[in-house]
A and B are shown apart, each in its own frame.
Chain A
Amino acid sequence: MSTSTQYDAETAPPSTALHPVRWVRDNLFSSWWNSMLTVVVALAVVGALYGVLNFAFSPERQWNSVTSNIRLYATFAYPETDYWRVWASLGIVVVLASLSVAAWAGRPEVAVSKLIRGVAFAGAAVLLVFVLAPLSGGVRVTGLLIGFALMALAFVAWRTVPAGKQVPLLAVVAALLALALAALWVLPSFIEPMVIALSTTIPLTIQFAIGIAAYFYGMWLGPRVGLQRFRSILVGLWLLSVPLIYLVVLRAPAWDWDTVTSEDFPIWVAFAVGGSLLLRVIADEERKTLGRLVAVALVLFAIVAWTPLVATWPWLPLFKVRIPLLVLALWAMAAPSFGGSAESRRSTILSWIGIATLMAFFLAAATSGSGLVIQTNFIGGLLLTLLLSIVSLLLAFPLGVLLALGRTSTLPIFRVVSTAYIEVVRGVPLITILFFGALFLPLFLPEEIRVDSVIRALIAISLFGAAYLAENVRGGLQAIPKGQYEAAKAMGLNTVQMTMLIVLPQALRAVIPALVGQAIAIFKDTSLVFIIGLTEILAVAQKVVPGQPSFVGSQRENLLFVAFVYWIFTFTFSRASQRLERKLGVGER
C-alpha cells in the first residue's frame, strides 16, 4: 500500500473501483447473446419469485403455526419451569464462543465496498419483494420506502467513503446482532402481540451483553495468560462443557446422596489415591520396562472387566468402576512415553487426579435419575439437533483419528480391520446404521442395561461419522512428507510420541476445512433420527405442529421454516470454514 505513492498517475494501473453502470454493461450485456440470456433468465427469475411470493404471502398460509410453536421448535417438551437451564446452557456456549473469538479470530477486517454492495443488494431485494408480493397498499408503500432508503444509503456511502477502506468485521457482526435485538424489542408492539418473542427478549439481550463482555474479557485475559496457554485452556473448557451441559445443567440430576456417599465417593477416593500411587511407581525413569508391562497387564484386565467373566466380582460390574479403570489403564500406558522426569511425573499424577474427579462427577450425574418431570427423551427440537451433532462429532473424532492411523499403519492386522470397518460403514446408508443402533444395540447388551434412544442414536451417528472423518484424516496423514517421520525417528522419538507430537498436528491442520465440511454433513444427517422416532426439529415440523387441530395442513410452512434454520447454521459454518481455509492457506501449498 505504502509503495503505491511512488507511481505517478501515468504508470498507475487503471482504477478497479466498482462503477455500477460499467459493471452492468460488462457483466450482463456484453454481447447480443449475453443480453438475450440476461433477459430470458431475468424473466424466469421474476416469474419464479412471483410464484414463491404469491405462495408465501397468500392469506391461506398459516405462518402463525410457526410463530406460536417456537417453544416446541427450540426445546420440544422441556419443562417450562426449568427454562433457565436452557438459557444457562446457551450462556455457557456464548461465553466460550466469545472467548474463542477473542483467542483465535485476531482482528479480521472487511472492505466497506463489500458492505455497500450488500446493502444495495438488500435494498434491491426488498424492492423486488414488495413490488411482486400480493400485499395491501399501505404495507407495499412502507416496504418500497425501506427498499429505497437502503438503496439511497448505499449510494451515499458509495459516493462518500474512499475506496479500499476497511472496517473491523467483528464490529459489523456485533452491530447486526444489536440491530436484530433492537427489532425484537420494537417490532412485537407494531405487528401483533407475540408472547414468546417478548419472553425471550430479556434473556437474549442478557446473552448478547454477556457475549460482548466475555469477548473483551478474553482480549484482556489472553495476553496475560499467554495466547497458547489460553487457547489450550479454552479447548479443554469446550470439551468439558458438553458433558456439563448434557449431564448436569439440562438433565438436572437428582442426586441420590445415599448412593453418592456409599458408592461414588469411595470409588472416587480409591481411583484418585490408588491411581496416583500406581502412576508414581510406573512413571519412573528406572522402571520403564516394568512400568510398561504393568500397564499392559492393567489394560488387559480393564478389557476383561467388560466381559461376563467378572459378573460375580464385587464392584467390578458397575459402570462407574469399569470406565475409570479403562481410562486409568490407558493413562498408565501413555505415562512412560512422555519422559520420566520428576516434573512430568508430577503433572501426570496431578492430571490423573483431575480426570478421575471429573469422571466421578459426571458418572455420578449420569447414573442418578433426572430431576425433571419428563424422564426419557427430555430433550427435543433444535436442542436435540445441536446436542446430537456436537456430541456425536466429539465421539466420532477420536475414533476417526484412530481408524485413520490404523488404515495407514504398517501393522497389517490393524490396517485390515480399520479398512474393513471404514469401507463397510461408508458403503451403507446412515439409516441402516440408525436402525442397527435402535434394534441391535439392545440385543448386544445384557438384559439389565438399558440404553435410551437418544444415546443409541448418538452411538449410531458417531460410528457412522467416524468412518468419514477417518477418510478425511487419512488424506492429511498421506500428505505428510516422509522426511517428517525420518526426522522424528532420528530425534529418538518413539512411535507414540512421533504420532502425537509430529504427525497428527500437521495432518489435522492440513484437513481442517474437510473436517468442518464433515461436521456440517453430520449436522445435516442428524435430521435422520426423525425416522427412528426421536423428536428433533424436523419431527416437530412434520408431525407435531401439523398434528395440532388448529394447524392441519401446515407442513409446507413449517418445513420451509426448518429448512431456513438448517440453512442459517450450515451456511454460516461453510462460510467460516472458507475464511479459515484462506487464512490457513491450505490450498496454496
Chain B
Amino acid sequence: MASMNTSERPAQDKQRVPLWRNVTFLKWMLQIVFLVVLVGFAWIAIRQVADNLRRIGLDFSWDFLDEPVGFQISEGIFINPQTGWQALFTGMVNMLRITISGIVAATILGVVVGIARLSSNALVKGVATVFVETIRNIPLLVQIIFWLAFVQLTFPRLSLDSGPIPGWLYVSRKGVSFAWLFPQDTFWQWVVGLIVAWLVARYVYRRLFHKRELTGEETHAGMWALVVFLAIAVLAWFANPVFGVLSYLFGAITALLEALPTIAMQLVLAGLLLFAAGMFIKRFLDSRRTPAGLAKLTDDDYFRLISAGVLGAVGAVIALVVPGIGEAVLTWGARFFEFVQGKFDFNTGPPLQGARPTLAQAGLFANYEDTGLTMSPGFFSVWLGVVLYTGAFIAEIVRGGILAVSKGQTEAGLAMGLRRSQLLRFIILPQAFRIILPPLGNQYLNLAKNTSLGVAVAFPEVVAVGQTVFNQRGVSVQIILFWMAFYLMVSLTISVIVNYFNRRLQLVER
C-alpha cells in the first residue's frame, strides 16, 4: 500500500507516518472497534432479553433443574421424573443410546454398501448406487416420519402369538422387542475386571511379540493374549465383588467433597485456571524457542499469550468472586461420586442377565425393564432413519477412500498372489481407512446432531424433553442454552475420539 511512496522518499520519512496511516495501529484499531461494537450489541441484546423476560414475568434461574416436574416420559431411565434434571437426564441418555448404536450400525452398513458400489458385478453395483442416490437425496426428516407411519400403519397388531418368533422376537405396531442381555448391579465391578484383563492381555501380547521379533520364534502372541483376556474376564465374572473395594475410594472422595468448605474449592478452581494459563504460556514460549534464543514473536503470538493470561486471570477472579460456582462443583461432584460409589457396593450375582420380551398387558410391552429390549416406534424410526441416511453418506466416503488408494497398490498385491478378499483386507482397507477417517468423524457428528429430529416423532430425546420442560415452566432461554451446551459437549467428545485415532494412524505412516 505504501510501497509507491516509500520508493520515492528517503527511508527516515517512515518515522513521520501519521497515526491514521500507520497500518499496525489501523489494524488493531479496526479490531478493537469491531470488538467494542460486538460486545455492545451483545450487551444491548442481553439487556433486552432480561427486560422482555421481566415483562412477561419470568426470571432467569436454573432452579427448575431441582424442582418437581409434572409429566411422564414414554421411555428411558426415569419414566416418572421427579425433577427437571432427571427428565433432561433421561432425554440425554436416550439420545446417547441412539447415537452409539446408530454409529455402529451406520458404519457397518456404509462399509458394505461402499464396497458394493465398487463391485465388478453390475447388479450389485446398481443396487448399491440406487440405494445411495435414493437415501441421500431425500431429507432425513421425511424418512424418519415415513418410518414412523410405516411402523404404525403397516406392522401387525401386538398379540401373544404374534411376532416372527413368539417369546423371543416381536415385530408390531408397538415397536420391535427382542431378547437381550442386561447389566445387573454387579456390572460395573465386572467392567473394572475387564479393564484389568485388557491391560494384562496387552502386556502379554507386547512381551510375546517382542520375543518373536528378537528370536524369530513363533510365539502366537495374539492367541495367548486372547486366552489371558478371556481367562481373567471369566474369573472376574465370578469374583467381581472383589472390586467392591473401590467403593472405599469413591466414598472417601464423596466425604472429602462434602466436608470441603466452599472457599477451598474456589481457591482450587482459581489455582487450576491460573495453572492452565501458565502452562499454555510456558508451552507456547517453549515451542518458539530456538537454539539461538527466543524467536521473534509476531503480533499474533502476543495476542495469544496476552489473551491466555487475561482469560486465566479473569476466570480465576470470577471463580473467587462468585461462590455459586465452587458450591455447584462441590455439590454436583459429591452427587456424582456418591452415585459411582453405589455401583461398587460389594454387590453379588452375575453381571449380565438375559431376558426375553414379556407383555405387560394385552397389546403392550413392559418398557425398559429387564424384560427384553424394546425399540419403541419412535426409537425405531429415528434409529433406522439416521442409520440409513448416515450409512449412505459413509458409503460414498468409503468408496472415495478406496478409489484414492493408488492402482499400483492393487496391482502389487495381486502380483504377490493375494486373493481379492486378502487384497481388500491387508492392502486396500488399511490405507483407505487413513483417508476415510476424518470425513467419517464428520458423519458421526452429523448422526449425533440428527438424533435431535426425534422431536418430530415424539421420541423423548433431549430436544423433545427440553421442549416439554419449557412448555411447562417457560424456561426457554435456559433450555436452549442447555441443548447447545449438551450438543457441543457430545460433538467435542466425538471429535476428540476421532482425532485420537487419526493421530495414531498418521504416526503409523511414518
Contact = CB atoms under 8 A, between A and B. Distances in A.
A34 B140 contact: no
B259 interface: no
B92 to A, nearest CB: 14
B62 to A, nearest CB: 17
Given A303-B37, A413-B34, A439 B140 contact: no
B143 A563 contact: yes
B294 interface: no
B27 to A, nearest CB: 6
B483 A42 contact: no
Given A444-B49, A553-B153, A432 B483 contact: yes
B401 to A, nearest CB: 15
A562 B487 contact: no
A555 B152 CA distance: 10
B137 A432 contact: no
A527 B48 contact: no
Given A28-B122, A38-B121, A443-B52, A538 B145 contact: yes
Interface in B284-315: 299-300, 303-304, 307
Contact of A531 (B49, B137, B450, B456): B456
B142 A429 contact: no
B456 A559 contact: no
Contacts of A136: none
B40 A307 contact: yes
B31 A531 contact: no
B20 interface: yes
A303 B40 CA distance: 10
Contacts of B9: none
A427 B137 contact: no
Interface in B445-488: 445, 449-450, 452-453, 455-456, 463, 467, 470, 476-477, 480, 483-484, 487-488
B133 interface: yes
Contacts of B139: 524-525, 527, 538, 566
Contact of B487 (A429, A524, A555): A429
Nearest to A573: B137
Contact of B463 (A431, A525, A530): A431
Interface in B306-332: 307
B27 A538 contact: no
Nearest to A570: B137
Given A447-B55, A556-B150, A567-B138, A432 B34 contact: no
A501 to B, nearest CB: 15
A571 interface: yes
A571 B141 CA distance: 17
Interface in A519-567: 520, 524-525, 527-528, 530-531, 538, 542, 553, 555-556, 559-560, 562-563, 566-567
Interface in B15-54: 20-21, 27, 30-35, 37-38, 40-41, 44-45, 48-49, 52-53
B427 interface: no
A411 interface: yes
B20 A289 contact: yes
Interface string B127-158: 10000011011111111011001100110000
Interface residues of B, number: 70
A432 B463 contact: yes
A439 B480 contact: yes
Contacts of B488: 424, 427-428
A566 B120 contact: no
Given A289-B21, A307-B40, A432 B48 contact: no
A149 interface: no
B492 interface: yes
Given A412-B300, A428-B487, A563-B138, A37 B146 contact: no
B3 interface: yes
A59 interface: no
B123 interface: yes
A571 B452 contact: no
B48 A444 contact: yes
B145 A428 contact: no
A436 B477 CA distance: 8
B181 to A, nearest CB: 31
B1 interface: yes
A494 B2 CA distance: 9
Contacts of B143: 563
Contacts of B303: 412-413
A571 B20 contact: no
B120 A556 contact: no
Contacts of B145: 538, 542, 555, 559
A41 B491 contact: no
Contacts of A28: 121-123
A410 B300 contact: yes
A545 to B, nearest CB: 12
A430 B463 CA distance: 11
B4 interface: yes
Interface string A412-448: 1110110000001011111110011001101111110
B31 A445 contact: no
B124 interface: yes
Nearest to A542: B145
Contacts of A300: 33
B445 to A, nearest CB: 8
B31 A440 contact: no
Interface in A388-428: 410-414, 416-417, 424, 426-428
A440 B120 CA distance: 54
Contacts of A417: 34-35, 38
A152 to B, nearest CB: 23
A489 B23 CA distance: 14
A72 to B, nearest CB: 17
Given A431-B463, A443-B52, A566 B480 contact: no
Interface string A430-473: 11100110011011111100000000000000000000000000
A318 B183 CA distance: 64
A436 B142 contact: no
A531 B145 CA distance: 11
Nearest to B138: A563
Given A410-B300, A411-B27, A428 B141 contact: no
Interface string A302-341: 0100111000000000000000000000000000000000
Contacts of A142: none
B44 A494 contact: no
Contacts of A428: 449, 483-484, 487-488, 491
Nearest to A568: B137
Contacts of A447: 52, 55
Nearest to B491: A427
Nearest to A520: B137
Contacts of A175: none
Contacts of A555: 145-146, 149, 153
A293 interface: yes
Nearest to B49: A443
Nearest to B56: A443
Nearest to B486: A428
Among B45, B138, B453, max chain A CB count under 10 A is at: B138
B149 A556 contact: yes
Contact of A34 (B33, B120, B133, B483): B120
Interface string A486-530: 000100101100000000000000000000000010001101101
19 contacts: A27-B121, A34-B121, A45-B123, A303-B37, A411-B31, A414-B34, A416-B307, A427-B445, A432-B483, A432-B484, A439-B470, A440-B49, A530-B141, A531-B453, A531-B456, A555-B146, A559-B142, A563-B138, A571-B137
Given A432-B483, A444-B45, A538-B141, 6 more contacts: A413-B32, A428-B487, A444-B49, A527-B139, A538-B142, A566-B138
Interface of B: 1, 3-4, 20-21, 27, 30-35, 37-38, 40-41, 44-45, 48-49, 52-53, 55, 119-124, 127, 133-134, 136-143, 145-146, 149-150, 153-154, 299-300, 303-304, 307, 445, 449-450, 452-453, 455-456, 463, 467, 470, 476-477, 480, 483-484, 487-488, 491-492
